[in-house]
Amino acid sequence: MTSSRRTFLKQSAAAAAGATITGALSPVGSAEARTPRVAPSDQVNVAVIGAKGMGWSDMRSHLKIAGVNCVAIADVDRSVLTERSENLRSLRGTAPRLYDDYRKMLEWKDIDAVIVGTPDHWHCLAMTDALSAGKHVYVEKPIAHTIEECRVMQAATRRAGKMVQVGQWQRSGTHYANAIDYVRSGKLGKIRVVKVWAYQGWMMPVPVQPDSAPPAGVNYDMWLGPAPKRPFNPNRFHFNFRWFWDYAGGLMTDWGVHEIDIALHAMNVTAPKSVVASGGKFAYPDGASETPDTLQAVFEYDGFNMLWEHATGIDGGPYGKPEGIAFIGNDGTLVLNRGGWDVIPETTTRQGVRQFKTPALPLQFNQEDILDKHTLNFVQAIRANDASMLTCGIDTGSVAAINASMGNIALLTGRKVHWDAAAGEFTNDAEANAMIKANYRAPYVLPKI
């Protein structure tokens, strides 16, 4: 540990709220009075890139861990920097260094780990840059915007030898693990269909708005980064970026990676043989969004199909749940979501008596804050310097991201696509294979690993 870092750990420090700085810090108060004392060797200094939404939720979760400090925030929106600086002052009595360009922030040697909470199209560059700077990384899901970026991020992680945790935090849930154990026990009989879904009633249409000048204090060109050059439009900014193909993949990659991750993990598979999808803007055809508000996709694996479906503006998903996973077997169905899981048995009639094929099981409630468990797992792996401890490392996170991307590719091609796992591409389909690629606008370049 450097002497400058030891000095930092003894003193709280802050930049003037809302100012983008590269110089020294000035004291504003002590964090030690608010958090348990932790040995200097176990302190973890964390920075966040993209602090508007989940990036800040992840940071707040990390700050519940003794010895974890938020020391820097990078964001292209000056108003976000100001707000988060004040948030941290309230939480810890300190304020971070603030940057409008994360690349300058990564030069600071005292940063141990970085949270990447940017829009999807920035995940690959931000993560690989952080690894090159010697930082551990907590990267939001989906890990990347394209399949090619997923592969680059996997290779970068192997080369760097750092801890990389993917924000698919359902992996850390005890009730998810218990449900997976039940699925694998054979009590459901042969499982031939797995349903995964996200029905999000609170997501309303995005009204069409004209292009405009970027808000004051926003570095819009930096926000676009490797994405195509387009005029600023408020619909594409902050939360709603996920409904535009330039930056994300709609609910298929937003919620899809969470549910698909658990489904495929439980079934011990990683890649489909084929995918076909159908959907569109059926609920809000006149809205500004590009990605479908309604979608069904069928993924074919050895021995079973997985059915993905989503709908915005509707909460009444399968089994009366707005999100979830259903493992449908010959003897029963296990229904799992963030609230818990239960088993619905199949029945049979023998000698006039109706019988359950497997015992019914009432709802097994989730009683944990799983995000907090997930971030704690990341910090524990950093302190132990042991990537095997991670509940959702980069290879694990890539499986759901790649499968979800395949669902969107099938939708955009308008036909069934067939996957060659050995070759890592679609079979005899140039159009689909072109969608695997990351096409960065100059001067941004996909990292070479």
* Residue 252 structure tokens: 């298929």
Helix (H, G, I), strand (E, B) or coil at 427: coil
Domain with CATH 3.30.360.10 in the chain: 173-210+239-366+394-434
pLDDT value at residue 33: 34
pLDDT value at residue 1: 44
pLDDT value at residue 38: 80
Give the residues across from 426 on adjacent strands: 419
DSSP string, 2-22: -HHHHHHHHS--BPPTT----
Q: What is the pTM of this model?
A: 0.91
46-80 residue pLDDT tens:
999 999 999 999 999 999 999 999 999 999 999 99
Nearest to 332 by CA among 364, 303, 357, 369: 357
Cis peptide before 443 (omega within 30 of 0): yes
pLDDT value at residue 15: 36
159-206 residue pLDDT tens:
999 999 999 999 999 999 999 999 999 999 999 999 999 999 999 999
May I ask the CATH architecture of the domain 3-170?
Answer: 3-Layer(aba) Sandwich (3.40)
Residue-level pLDDT, tens digit, the chain, 449 residues:
443 443 333 333 333 333 344 322 222 233 333 446 788 778 999 999 999 999 999 999 999 999 999 999 999 999 999 999 999 999 999 999 999 999 999 999 999 999 999 999 999 999 999 999 999 999 999 999 999 999 999 999 999 999 999 999 999 999 999 999 999 999 999 999 999 999 999 999 999 999 999 999 999 999 999 999 999 999 999 999 999 999 999 999 999 999 999 999 999 999 999 999 999 999 999 999 999 999 999 999 999 999 999 999 999 999 999 999 999 999 999 999 999 999 999 999 888 888 999 999 999 999 999 999 999 999 999 999 999 999 999 999 999 999 999 999 999 999 999 999 999 999 999 999 999 999 999 999 999 98
- Angstrom distance (rounded) from CA 156 to CA 187: 41
Write the burial class of residue 353 (CB in 10 Å: 0-12 exposed, 13-18 middle, 19+ buried).
exposed
pLDDT value at residue 257: 98
Nearest to 405 by CA among 430, 354, 2, 397: 397
The 8 Å CB, 24+ separation contacts for 14-19 are 14/85, 14/89, 14/94, 14/95, 14/96, 15/85, 15/95, 15/96, 15/97, 15/98, 17/82, 17/85, 17/86, 17/89, 17/95, 18/78, 18/81, 18/82, 18/85, 18/98, 19/98
Tell me the CATH class for 173-210+239-366+394-434: alpha beta
Q: Cβ distance 431 to 416 under 8 Å? A: no
pLDDT value at residue 36: 61
Cis peptide before 142 (omega within 30 of 0): yes
- Angstrom distance (rounded) from CA 269 to CA 164: 22
Nearest to 55 by CA among 383, 413, 408, 371: 371
Domain with CATH 3.40.50.720 in the chain: 3-170
78 contacts: CB under 8 Å, gap ≥ 6: 18, 20, 100, 216, 217, 218
Give the residues across from 328 on adjacent strands: 193, 333
